[in-house]
Amino acid sequence: LHDLQIRRAAHDDADFRCHFITLFKLFKNDLCILSSSCFYQNLSYDINLQAVDNSSLIIIDGKLFKDLLNQNISIQKFMLEVTQSKLSEIMWVLEQVVFFNLDYRLADYLINQYYLKNSLEINITHEAIANDLGSSREVISRVLKRFEKYNIVKVSRGCIKIINIEKLQSILEQN
């Protein structure tokens, strides 16, 4: 598993902090469409690419890639399919942030991490979760503390242990 996060930063001038939200993740043999500026004309944006695990990248020259696109309909079709898939992921993130409360999003996140890592122990910081969910570390810590109070998780430094996955799933069912 090669986990790369494509993140968008927002700067808060009031407290001089930078907040992140993970737009989507890249896995083995995946393609970052947002870094394909040669494919998208007149599109300007700032993104961060952060490797969560050891990863390898292949960077393709923009002119070469554009020439391939112009000469090969199969590559154009492939890029359109990748773009649609990643746009769908970004829309899902937007929907989560706008329409679901943080308890729901955090419960869903922890359940997904459990299945991805095949472990009830998730080695992750509150800051990393906050970045993935578009929240702040303090708010994530508060919700995790409440989950801990209800014996859903056990929180320790850099680790969250799921104690009762059924209770996490019941949070999802309430929304």
Report yes or no: 52 and 13 within 8 Å, Cβ to Cβ: no
Please report, in tens digits, the pLDDT of each residue of the chain (175 residues total): 345 555 555 555 555 566 677 777 777 777 776 655 555 555 566 666 667 677 777 777 778 888 888 899 998 898 888 888 888 887 877 787 777 789 999 999 999 999 989 999 999 999 989 988 888 899 999 999 999 999 999 999 999 999 999 999 999 998 7
Q: Indicate the length of the chain as a whole number.
A: 175
Quick check: pTM over 0.85?
no
- The residue behind tokens 């083995």 is 28
Which among 115, 108, 117 is positioned nearest to 147, based on CA atoms? 108
CA 122 to chain centre: 16
Report yes or no: 94 and 18 within 8 Å, Cβ to Cβ: no
